[in-house]
Structure 1
Amino acid sequence: MTKTIKTFKKIGVKEKKLPHDLNVPEKKSTVNPIEDQVELLKKQMHNTSDLTLEDMYVGSIKSKLCFIDSICDSTFIYEKIQQPLSLNGAINEEKLQLNSQQELTQLFSSAKLYFSKDLKDMGKKLIEGYALLLISELDILCFIEVKGSEKRTISEPTTQTIIRGPKDGFVEDIQTNISLIRSRIKNQNLCFRKYTIGDDTGTSVIVAYLGNIVNDKILKEITQRIEDIKTFAIFESANIEEMIADKTFTPFPLVYNSERPDSVTAHILSGKVAILVDGTPFAITAPATFNDFFSISEDYYQPFFMATFLRIIRYFSFVISLLLPSLYVAIITFHHEMIPTALITKIFSQREGIPFPAVIEALVMELTFEILREAGIRMPRAVGQTVSIVGGLVIGQSAVEAGIVSNFMVIIVALTAIASFVSPVYNLAISTRLLRFIFIILGGTIGFYGIILGLIFMVAHMNSLRSFGVSYLTPVTPFYPEDQQDTFVRVPFFFMLSRPKFLKTKKPAQQYKDNSPTPPPIKEEGQKE
């Protein structure tokens, strides 16, 4: 292969002073000689050093092969371009006449080809992983796909781990992610719609949905918002999420994100729309409801009663993470009568000598723990976990011994931190961490009244949120009795007959109306069959 590649004479790109106007002419006819086309290509690529230009003679026909070696794979160049040319007998006899698109298609039958008469396509297609074959006797541009780049192997997701279920996760290559979805949904109605977003980055964005299930109004709204995006760069799906979500100032995530193909596939099957972005392993699905952030794929791989129990624990942990420090501060500050006498005596005996009020104590401890958490995440993995654990133990113990905080406050902050880790989606956990400080201030200033007032405002705010026209608190408000089968509890599969009603899908049925499996009746001895 190396020997064959060396048969091409490589031409270096020379530095030349460029004119001020580098715009490509609007004229689409390419009657220019090869050298003029090469010069125009150099201007389009700004004389980049990884642009490779190779002289070739196909039989007696002069041609030039152009490609970007940092994107293209030399193996593909050999297999898709050099090998078909070397095996063609007409080349050695110099009888080959490449003067039509049909002849090129037959010659490079094993490769993906793209033809164009627009000179502006030269630079665009090269950065997409195509090689350009310029032929002196042909008035058309022939592009041959030879893209090849290093890809991360499919591995287990790191942000959403489960005990039972598939262990594969999305990667940064969008084609691999599409194949992971295709392998789970072998359905001709599965559609992928491609967009290119970002004037500078040209990032590929894929919208995935089931054409026979999805609500056309929701699909149209999502695709319209994606088409309306005007930006210079897209680096991660979070950029798309922020640009298409309803423009509401809210700490709650309005779009679901996951790096698990099975979770995204389940959302597509339920009638939602998935969005994949090239360069990130995180896919997003919409519309999203508050309940989506408490459901994980493992709920459907465990017995339904265990899944229900674990889901209730997640809701309970959310309440603890949000309200426990503020409730403690409110009780200590204003509502002593709510605690048994023996317990309140114990608490105040430990608080004796503490220089700060409970609200300041709670805010300082919570802020300290947030700093430790971020330090543990951002530091190298070898020492990050050690820093967060040892730092928490040392600082907590030292603060208690110094009389700055009480033992009960350390216990409250630790329980709150553990409860916050139960959240299966990181976006919701961040929202809880932010709101916790607001509730601590409300509980420390006006007690339970402040906490209740904050809850009223929070629920009212959540009720006002919309995710692509769907109420955020659906199916609780508005209330859909049919959708309660998979909200706070998870009923058995044979009872989950319909898709979410609030999505108004084209195909509401999700399961066949079969009776639950039951063993045959035991017949008495002597009883007739």
Structure 2
Amino acid sequence: MKENKKTVSVPPKLMAELAEKLKSSFDIAQIPLIIEDKEAHLFYLKTVVDGEKLQNVIIKPFFELNTIEHFEAYLNSLPNKSEVPSNEELLVELTRGFLLIAIEERFIFLELRKVNSDTVHPTLMEATIHGPQLAFSEDLATNLNIIRQNYHGASLVMNTYQLNDRSNRMIALLYDEESVNLKVLNKIKEKIELLEVPLVQSAGDLERLLTDKKYNLYPTTILTERPDRIVYNITGGKVIVMVDGSPQAIIAPVVFFDFMVSMESNYHNFWISLFTTFLGYFGLLTCLLLPSVYVAVTSYNPEILRTELALTVTGSRIGVPYPSYIEVLFMLIFMELLTEASIRLPKAVSATATTVGGLILGTAATEAALASNIMIIVVAAVAISTFVIPINELGFSIRITRIFLIIFTSLFGLNGLIVGFLLLIMLLANKDSFGEPYFKFFILAKNDEKKVNNE
């Protein structure tokens, strides 16, 4: 027996080849485990493998089990065992936190990932008073677990794909196979499979790449951080796309009215939900049309106001040296700058800096006769109304659209505003989201479509 005992531990050829390919990385680990007639070789990257799990799950049992056969049987019974992929995929999987174990000429592949980004964050973009207060994490496995915990239907399907880019990120496709629209599902799968980009870092990146037209102003998917919104849309037959490393998920297809749905409305009674929905649409029209209406009634069509109100508006503009559309654009641009500053500044100072900056700017502008008092009221109303829109992506689109409406109104007065608004309606009516009309009141689930067709 002593003659057959190996005195020199030589790693398998595959591990030597992997080490050669990764030789420029400092975190390669090749560990031989040898005791008496038992021998095994470990190959992994130290920066992505959990050392504590490695010690407790692999190394400690190796020295406690009697034979190498027992150790191999133990490894094959672990739930995190996977098939050994091809050489190219093997390198990618090793960088994700997988461990390659060699026992003689047999290989076992285990996942021992060290995850530092699995903390579930509170909701930031879509905060509500009632309902869940936690959003997603930046770890895909944690996010899929959250969805499973909130959606217990056996028909829920979760498919994973690996992006063909430098990051080789994993993405997940979620849908209910009993209610999903197969045409939409196949279209999304096709777009994902045909992606050819150098890098995808987040769900926002992928959302932009899945869009049919590069220069779309109005979004055709929803980017959300709320698990309850995800579950709500899965139940409605929609497709969810999640990206590893991103705390948001993509919902497709969507219609315009989906952007005006706040999850808060689901946790109130009918009348409160109706009132909050009305406030949302009123805020949408206010932030979109109010600056253009101000330009129209002050410069072109003051006769549509009552005489007293027209005189009040005109009196407030005494001393302002330029037309109303310059005044509106001037104040709106500074309002946009304050909004962007509140996003970019550190949280400790953003609220104070933007509030003080807004007050000083408004007071100085009126005292210097650069803007009227009514203009300050209009800008404040527009700013408040913009933040009533539940989905932030639509808010950005509205902020850009109102500038185009101001230009139309500045050129043609109230008629220009009406024409510009009608052009906007026509544009949205001709849009679609993965084949679904953008102005459809709601997207029917597959089973509901069958009922409608039968009737």
TM-score normalised by the chain length of structure 2 = 0.93
Q: Distance in 1 between matches of 2:328 and 2:35?
A: 78
Instruction: Answer yes or no: is the 8 Å Cα contact 1:190–1:211 preserved in 2.
Output: yes
Helix, strand or coil: the match of 1:127? helix
Match of 1:104 among 38, 55, 72: 72
The 3 A distance-change label for structure 1 pair 62 and 390 is same
What is the CA-CA distance between 1:104 and the residue it aligns to?
2.4
Q: 1:326 aligns with which of 292, 301, 308?
A: 292
After superposition, the Cα gap between the structure-2 partners of 1:116 and 1:333, relative to the gap in structure 1 and judged at 3 Å, is same
The alignment partner of 1:141 has SS state of strand
**CA–CA distance in structure 2, aligned partners of residues 334 and 118 of structure 1:** 72
2:317 to 339, 351, 357: 351
CA contact (8 A) 1:333 1:358 kept: yes
What is the number of equivalent residue pairs in this alignment?
443
Name 1:428's counterpart in structure 2: 394
* Separation (CA, whole Å) in 1 of partners of 2:89 and 2:238: 35
Name the stretch that deviates more: 286-295 or 45-54.
Answer: 45-54
Q: 1:38 aligns with which of 6, 9, 15?
A: 15
Q: Name 1:60's counterpart in structure 2.
A: 37
- The 8 Å contact of residues 115 and 139 in structure 2, kept in 1 or not, is answered as no
1:133 corresponds to? 101
Equivalent residue, structure 2, for 1:167:
133
1:507 is displaced (CA, Å) by 7.9
Once residues 86 and 126 of structure 2 are traced to their aligned partners in structure 1, the CA distance between those partners, rounded to angstroms, is 46
Q: Is the 8 A contact 2:259 2:391 kept in 1?
A: yes
Does the Cα contact within 8 Å between 1:80 and 1:110 map onto a contact in 2?
Answer: no
Amino acid at match of 1:314: G
Q: Max radius of gyration: which structure?
A: 1
| Residue in 1 that maps onto 2:5 | none
The one of 214, 218, 222 equivalent to 1:252 is: 218
Check conservation: 2:325, 2:406, Cα contact below 8 A.
yes
Q: 1:184 to 1:315 in 2, by over 3 A?
A: same
Tell me by how many angstroms 1:447 deviates: 0.7
Distance (Å, rounded) in 2 between the aligned partners of 1:122 and 1:274: 28
Contact 1:206/1:276 (CA < 8 Å) preserved in 2?
Answer: yes
- The alpha carbon displacement at 1:350 in A equals 2.1
Q: Does residue 241 of structure 1 match 2:218? A: no
**Change beyond 3 A, Cα 1:216–1:369:** same
| Conserved? CA contact 2:75–2:81, under 8 Å | no
Q: Show CA shifts across 1:154-191 (max 9, x none).
A: 23201101111111211111111111111111111111
1: CA distance between counterparts of 2:85 and 2:269?
60
Q: Would you tell me which structure has more helix in proportion to its own residues?
A: 2
Whether the 8 Å contact between 2:255 and 2:433 is mirrored in structure 1 is yes
Secondary structure (helix, strand or coil) at the match of 2:29 reads strand
Q: What is the match of residue 51 of structure 1?
A: 28
Deviations along 1:38-59, whole A, 9 cap, x unmatched? 3311232242001112122154
Equivalent in the alignment of 2:414: 448
Contact preservation (8 Å) 2:162, 2:169: yes
Task: Give the aligned partner of residue 54 of structure 2.
Answer: 77
CA deviations on 1:236-285 (whole Å, 9 max, x unpaired) are: 11111111122263211100121000001000001111111111111111
Secondary structure of the residue aligned to 1:116 is coil
Q: Matches of 1:107 and 1:371 in 2, distance apart?
A: 59
Please tell me whether the aligned partners of residues 432 and 438 of structure 2 are also in contact (alpha carbons under 8 angstroms): yes
Amino acid at match of 1:261: P
After superposition, residues 280-359 of structure 1 pair within 5 angstroms as 280-359=246-325
Change (3 A) 1:269 1:405: same
Deviation of the 1:107 alpha carbon = 4.2
How much does 1:339 deviate?
1.6
**Secondary structure, aligned partner of 2:123:** coil
Going from structure 1 to structure 2, the CA distance change for 1:195 and 1:327 (only over 3 Å counts) comes to same
Give the secondary structure class of the aligned counterpart of 1:53. strand
Flag the 1:145–1:508 CA change in 2: closer, same or farther, 3 A. same
Find the aligned partners of 2:440 and 2:235 in 1 and give their Cα distance: 18
Once residues 453 and 46 of structure 1 are traced to their aligned partners in structure 2, the CA distance between those partners, rounded to angstroms, is 65
Quickly say closer, same or farther: Cα 1:274–1:122, change in 2 above 3 A: closer
Three-state SS of the structure 2 residue aligned to 1:374 is: helix
Q: Return the offset for 1:293.
A: 0.4
Q: CA deviation at 1:114?
A: 2.7
Equivalent pair of 1:53/1:66 in contact (CA under 8 Å): yes
Structure 1 residue aligned with 2:403: 437
Residues 326 and 443, structure 1, Cα contact 8 Å, conserved in 2 = yes
Aligned partners of 1:303, 1:337: CA distance in 2, in Å?
43
Q: Distance in 2 between the 1:445 and 1:153 partners? A: 53
- Distance, in Å, in 1 between the alignment partners of 2:448 and 2:408 is 46
Q: 1:198 to 1:144 in 2, by over 3 A?
A: same
Change (3 A) 1:371 1:48: same
Matches within 5 A, 1:329-478: 329-475=295-441
Contact 2:12 2:102 in 1 (8 A): no
**Residues 402 and 506 of structure 1: is their aligned pair in 2 closer, same or farther, counting only changes over 3 Å?**
closer
Aligned match of 2:119: 153
CA contact (8 A) 1:198 1:234 kept: no
Q: 1:213 aligned to 179, 186, 198, which one?
A: 179
CA offset digits 1:208-257 (Å, max 9, x no partner): 01111112222111111111111221111111111112226321110012
1:86 partnered with 2:63: yes
Question: Aligned equivalents of 1:117 and 1:173: distance in 2?
Answer: 23
One-letter code of the match for 2:332? Answer: E
TM-score with structure 1 setting the length? 0.80
Q: How many Å separate the matches in 2 of 1:155 and 1:303? A: 28
Please, which runs of 5 or more residues in structure 1 have no aligned partner? 1-10, 12-32, 91-95, 476-482, 484-499, 510-529
Contact 1:271 1:505 in 2 (8 A): no
Query: Residues 284-330 of structure 1: CA distance to partner in whole angstroms, max 9, x if unpaired?
Result: 11101000001122211100111111111111110000010010001
Kindly provide the amino acid, as one letter, of the partner of residue 11 in structure 2. I
Structure 1 residues 342 and 400, CA gap change in structure 2 (3 angstroms): same
2-structure distance, mates of 1:108, 1:86: 17
DSSP 3-state at the match of 1:144: strand
1:350·1:406 contact (CA, 8 Å) conserved in 2? yes
Aligned counterparts of 1:425 and 1:49: Cα–Cα separation in 2: 44
Equivalent pair of 1:212/1:506 in contact (CA under 8 Å): no
Identity %: 29
**Higher relative contact order structure (alpha carbons within 8 Å, sequence separation ≥ 6):** 2
